[in-house]
Amino acid sequence: MTRPLKLLLIADSDSQLLACEALCRCQTAWSVEFTINVIPREGTPQQILQRIANLGTLWRQNLRRLLNNPKLLRFDAVGVFLTGSKLNDIRIALERRQQRPKLFCGFNGVVLEHFIEGISWRLGYDLICLSGPRDRDALNQLVANTPFASQQTVLTGLQRNGTIETLIPPAQRPKRLVFAEQVVMPCSARDRAEMVQILAGLATRSPNWEVLIKPRIAPGDATFHDVETHISSTLLQTLGVPPANLKLDYRPLTDLLRKAPLMATISSTAFFDALDFGCRPVAMNDLGLHASHGSHVFAGSGVWRSLRDVHDLDALEQELQEPNPQWLDWMGYHKRYCADDLFDALENIEPPVATGITHCGYPTNTQSSFNQLRVSAEAAICTADWRGAADLLSQAAQMRPQHRGVARRHAAASCRNPFLRSVGLILSYRDLG
């Protein structure tokens, strides 16, 4: 390799940015130049944006502008860390070009639910990054006997912070348990109140410890999921006045994990970050096994246990086992799964084909939803593919004949007169986000 690998990473929500950040920070033998395009979105945490800006060149272009940017073709590969339909839009838009960068995508940490849906949006990418053997086996089973059986994947693991050189020995860390809160796991107000109640009980029983709840997002910030009640409100609604040693802490999670001997979570990917920072994790099982909590994934961790039954945090620190190494490996937490494999794979995969492959009887999630048809049509308009745009809008109009916005857009894109088409497109434009 004589020149650096030029990668563009595209993300919008905070969890996607965290996945990009992990990739940018990876320790690798490769020389990589990162450009990160953060799609402008209200509520994206400034803290993450500032960190991202230090890791490479930062772009802030919306999807429409980005897909029209001629600089896209200068990259060796584009990594897309977006939600379903947008993953598809970028792939389709780039596949329209004669030459294009290699395309890869991934998941933002541990996949707890919607794996099939997630894969069906990603099939067709040159390379799909997966965490570990668990995901790879599930994907292989899903695509067995289908035309997607040869979909290329690479395991990039969950060791997202690399090897930390200067770990503080556990005995020198302040007595703290960091609880990594998740915005929708659990989701119900009742379960969230119970979770807070259990943490408060643990704090009360452990007066010589601090229990720090690290909120997933600050109040007012946005994430992929809608947040009805911020954890700061849940705390007050449940406890009124929390114990003095139970606090919310908005510092970056890595700063907290670096200086705490213990962390707890229901099912957050932060479990694995804790291991990177020498902080011993425990998966809280007090709320039982529910698919919507992701608890079924962590039940095999070897440290899935009740915090209500813990006598106090001194006792937990004494008796807490290490996570089951076989489970860790299965999930992807092992140094043999790393970003180097991604860069190797990007170097070695065949040059991408210009147009995507379609298979009769296997439409996956491509171009299936009404909104997606509209967004794909916008991508086609960006590349002056008027016929493609008209086709897509015609399909959307068939799905919703009463939708006037789509009808107008369809009429504009179908117009053969370039001047009238331009005017029509300006008048019928709606920002689809």
Q: Which residue lies nearer to other proteins by CB, 108 or 367? A: 367
- Is 113 a binder of other proteins (CB under 8 A)? yes
Binding other proteins (rule: CB under 8 A), the pick from 205, 362, 385, 414 is: 362
- The structure tokens listed for 91 are 């792939």
Q: Where are the beta strands (DSSP E) in 84-161?
A: 102-105, 127-130, 153-155
Provide, rounded to whole angstroms, the least separation between the CB of residue 239 and other proteins. Answer: 29
Binding other proteins (rule: CB under 8 A), the pick from 330, 333, 337, 386 is: 330
Provide, rounded to whole angstroms, the least separation between the CB of residue 313 and other proteins. Answer: 22
> Which helix (H) or strand (E) is 319 found in, with range?
helix 313-319
Binding other proteins (rule: CB under 8 A), the pick from 98, 141, 208, 318 is: 141
Provide, rounded to whole angstroms, the least separation between the CB of residue 368 and other proteins. Answer: 4
Candidate ranges 256-264, 268-276, 380-388, 396-404; the one touching other proteins (CB under 8 A): 396-404
Provide, rounded to whole angstroms, the least separation between the CB of residue 267 and other proteins. Answer: 13
Quote the CA–CA distance of 230 and 225 in Å, as a whole number.
Answer: 12
Residue 48 near residue 59 (C-beta atoms within 8 A)? no
- Is 238 a binder of other proteins (CB under 8 A)? no
- Is 361 a binder of other proteins (CB under 8 A)? yes
CB atoms within 10 A of CB 251: 12
- Is 306 a binder of other proteins (CB under 8 A)? no
- Going by C-alpha positions, the residue among 49, 44, 52, 58 that lies closest to residue 8 is 58
Binding other proteins (rule: CB under 8 A), the pick from 201, 300, 356, 405 is: 300
Provide, rounded to whole angstroms, the least separation between the CB of residue 109 and other proteins. Answer: 17
Q: Where are the beta strands (DSSP E) in 2-138?
A: 5-11, 32-38, 57-59, 77-81, 102-105, 127-130
Contacts with 10 (C-beta within 8 Å, 6 or more apart), sequence order:
36, 37, 39, 66, 78, 79, 80, 81, 82, 90
Q: Which residue lies nearer to other proteins by CB, 76 or 385? A: 385
- Is 145 a binder of other proteins (CB under 8 A)? yes
- Is 146 a binder of other proteins (CB under 8 A)? yes
3 state SS of 173: coil
Provide, rounded to whole angstroms, the least separation between the CB of residue 62 and other proteins. Answer: 24
Quote the CA–CA distance of 53 and 46 in Å, as a whole number.
Answer: 10
- Is 131 a binder of other proteins (CB under 8 A)? no
Quote the CA–CA distance of 159 and 338 in Å, as a whole number.
Answer: 7
The interface mask with other proteins, positions 177-196, x = CB under 8 A, is --------------------
- Is 405 a binder of other proteins (CB under 8 A)? no
Quote the CA–CA distance of 49 and 37 in Å, as a whole number.
Answer: 11
Contacts with 217 (C-beta within 8 Å, 6 or more apart), sequence order:
14, 45, 183, 223, 227, 230
- Is 301 a binder of other proteins (CB under 8 A)? yes
Quote the CA–CA distance of 9 and 422 in Å, as a whole number.
Answer: 31
Q: Which residue lies nearer to other proteins by CB, 30 or 115? A: 115
- Is 289 a binder of other proteins (CB under 8 A)? yes
In the block, residue with structure tokens 């991604």: 342
- Is 153 a binder of other proteins (CB under 8 A)? no
> Which helix (H) or strand (E) is 280 found in, with range?
strand 280-284
3 state SS of 234: helix
Q: Which residue lies nearer to other proteins by CB, 75 or 330? A: 330
- Is 272 a binder of other proteins (CB under 8 A)? no
Q: Which residue lies nearer to other proteins by CB, 18 or 82? A: 82
Q: Which residue lies nearer to other proteins by CB, 125 or 277? A: 125
Binding other proteins (rule: CB under 8 A), the pick from 290, 334, 403, 421 is: 290
Binding other proteins (rule: CB under 8 A), the pick from 71, 114, 311, 430 is: 114
Q: Where are the beta strands (DSSP E) in 144-279?
A: 153-155, 176-180, 210-214, 246-248, 262-265
Binding other proteins (rule: CB under 8 A), the pick from 49, 187, 222, 299 is: 299
Quote the CA–CA distance of 228 and 274 in Å, as a whole number.
Answer: 27
- Is 296 a binder of other proteins (CB under 8 A)? yes
Q: Which residue lies nearer to other proteins by CB, 8 or 287? A: 287
Binding other proteins (rule: CB under 8 A), the pick from 117, 228, 309, 347 is: 117
- Is 150 a binder of other proteins (CB under 8 A)? no
Quote helix, strand, coil % in the chain, to nearest 5: 45, 15, 45
Contacting positions for other proteins (CB under 8 A): 113-117, 120, 134, 137-138, 141-146, 289-292, 296-297, 299-302, 304, 324, 326-327, 330, 360-365, 367-369, 395, 398-399, 401
